[in-house]
Amino acid sequence: MSRRFWRKIGAVALALSAGCVHTPRSNLQPAGADSGAEAARTRSLLQSVQSVVSGGRNYGRMKAVLKRTEELGLGDAVTQQRIGWFTRQRNLIVEIPGTADEIVYIVAHYDKVDVNPFTLASNTLNGALDELVSLTYGSHGALDNATGVAVALELAATLLSDPNRRPTYRILLTGGEEAGLQGSRVHVAKLSAAEKKRIALVINIDCVGAAFKPNCVTAHITPDAFVQKALSTANRLGMELGVGWLPFGVSSDFAPFRKNSFARELGRGLMFNGLGGLLPKRSWFTSSHTGTVVNFSACDLASPSQLLSTAVLIPFGRIHGPRDRSNRINPRRLYEAYAIIRELLREKGTQGTEGHAWIEPHGPLGYRLPKRHAAQSDSSGMLRGLQSGRTAPPIFLAGPVD
Ligand SMILES: [Zn+2]
């Protein structure tokens, strides 16, 4: 996730994240936990993570993702999209056509980054020095975000093999996310108005399967009913899922899908790239748009040490530095991210175009999430009824860090 703006919001986020707590929701083993299918799926997920990590620098990671699509039988479905004038990285798009008109996006970025002064300089040039600057990176970009790519690819392979799928699934693997959401911003800007109308849902996956914290669905940007749906699905599967919250200024590739316009586009450029945001770029040529987005990330990524790391430009945090390595991935949680999203899509896919009330802001149960700060004091009320009789856990107020 892109993180330059942290320095400005560090104090606020630090105060918020200091209050973050989590109670694991369940220690139940999911049905079929030891099944061969699950083990094979987990192996494939870990192989994808390792492949992306082994790609080295960001252009190499893109090539590694392409190779992995071939291995997973997705090669014929892949197209590439140029991101911009400042980078060799391209968006990779796996298109899996369905019978319904609607499009469901699954989004994950493959690029990685370290927080350091060189990255700051590169980002001021919209990431133009990334290939050079990445020589200084100690991060393997395993958690952030080979895990998201792995889950997205695995979902693509599953969806391709489902003859009953209804929506068109578009798996968007972006580059340049760490340089200011460059890939997703261009992608959204290049969509036609007719195509934007067809988008039913955008699922963004950024940093899942962490060893240090469970997966979270991000509240506030995700419609309330979908948060509830995700929690109840996880509960039914006997899997862990928390609720996270994004501090102001922390973002990921869901942002341009959620709200976009020329003014927002310009604002994002200034926020992530400073004066570099004033350099003309392809993503400027966009129409206004709003959409339904869902984000999955590890809970509590915006820890105090992570925020401090960003503030002082020294990469000692859990991500964006040498601590982000493959051995910090929890295979079980990685599989759970895949399984929960797969189950959500399965339910959506079988309901057809008319039956998607659960992705609307006012869902079947009709409750609203408390607003930002109210959520902190009223977390038990928010989650009551979602826990199958258990005492509701405190809500997370941490979120993805970039
Ligand atoms: Zn990320």
Distance 232 CA to ligand 1 centre (A): 26
Q: What is the pTM of this model?
A: 0.80
Ligand 1: centre distance to CA 185 (Å): 15
What is the whole-number distance in angstroms between the Cα of residue 181 and the centre of ligand 1?
10
Extract the tokens encoding 314: 């020294």
Task: Give the DSSP H or E segment for 91.
Answer: strand 90-96
Q: In 55-116, which residue ranges form alpha helices assigned H by DSSP? A: 58-71
Instruction: Tell me which fold the domain 6-383 belongs to.
Output: Aminopeptidase (3.40.630)
375: CA distance to ligand 1 center in Å? 25
Q: Measure 147 CA to ligand 1 centroid, in angstroms.
A: 10
Ligand 1 centroid, distance to 164 Cα (angstroms) = 32
Q: Which residues contact 128 (CB under 8 A, 6 or more apart)?
A: 86, 87, 122
Q: What is the mean pLDDT of the chain?
A: 80
CA of 325 to the centre of ligand 1 (A): 14
Residues 260 and 289: beta-carbon distance below 8 Å? yes
CA 3 to ligand 1 centroid distance, Å: 9
What's the 284 CA to ligand 1 centre distance in angstroms?
23
pLDDT at 349: 56
**292 Cα–ligand 1 center, Å:** 20
Residue 77 confidence (pLDDT): 96
57 CA to centre of ligand 1 in angstroms: 15
pLDDT of residue 34: 54
Task: Please give the distance, rounded to the nearest whole angstrom, from the Cα atom of residue 34 to the centre of ligand 1.
Answer: 30
Asked if 325 contacts 228 with a C-beta cutoff of 8 angstroms, the reply is: no
Q: Domain spans of the chain?
A: 6-383
Integer Cα distance of 135 and 179 in angstroms: 16
Q: What is the per-residue pLDDT for 203?
A: 97
**Spacing, Cα 321 to ligand 1 middle (Å):** 12
Rounded to 5 degrees, φ, ψ at 331 are -60, -40
Residue 6 has φ and ψ, to the nearest 5°, of: -55, -35
CA of 134 to the centre of ligand 1 (A): 16
Residue 401 Cα to ligand 1 middle (Å): 7
Cα 79 to averaged position of ligand 1 atoms, centre (Å): 22
- Distance (Å) from CA 367 to ligand 1 centroid: 30
Half-sphere exposure of 48 (CA within 13 A, CB side): 32
Instruction: Express each pLDDT in 243-265 by its tens digit.
Output: 998 777 788 999 999 998 888 88
- According to the model, what pLDDT value does residue 263 have? 86
Strand partners, 171: 94, 106
Q: Return the pLDDT at 22.
A: 33
pLDDT of residue 278: 84
Going from the Cα of 1 to the center of ligand 1, the distance in angstroms, rounded, reads 3
347 C-alpha to ligand 1 centroid (Å): 27
Per residue of the chain (402 residues), give pLDDT as tens.
Answer: 655 434 443 333 333 333 232 323 333 344 444 578 999 999 999 999 999 999 999 999 999 999 999 999 999 999 999 998 889 999 999 999 999 999 999 999 999 999 999 988 888 888 889 899 989 999 999 999 999 999 999 999 999 999 888 999 999 999 999 999 999 999 999 999 999 999 999 999 999 999 999 999 999 888 998 999 999 999 999 999 999 987 777 889 999 999 988 888 888 888 888 888 888 888 888 888 889 999 999 998 877 888 888 889 999 989 899 999 999 999 999 999 999 999 999 876 544 333 333 333 322 222 233 333 223 323 332 232 222 223 233 333 333 334
180 contacts 268 by C-beta, under 8 angstroms: yes
| Three-state secondary structure call for residue 128 | coil
Q: What percent of the chain has pLDDT over 90?
A: 55
Determine the distance separating the centroid of ligand 1 and the alpha carbon of 402, expressed in angstroms. Answer: 6
46 C-alpha to ligand 1 centroid (Å): 18
Segment 9-29, tens digit of pLDDT: 333 333 333 323 232 333 334
Distance of CA 144 from the midpoint of ligand 1 (Å): 5
Q: What is the DSSP letter of 171?
A: E
Distance 112 CA to ligand 1 centre (A): 7
Q: Which of 94, 98, 283, 96 is nearest to 181 (CA)?
A: 283
Ligand 1 center from residue 221 Cα (angstroms): 16
CA 139 to centroid of ligand 1, rounded, Å = 12
- Ligand 1 centre from 205 Cα, in Å? 8
Q: Helix, strand, coil shares of the chain as percentages rounded to 5?
A: 45, 15, 40
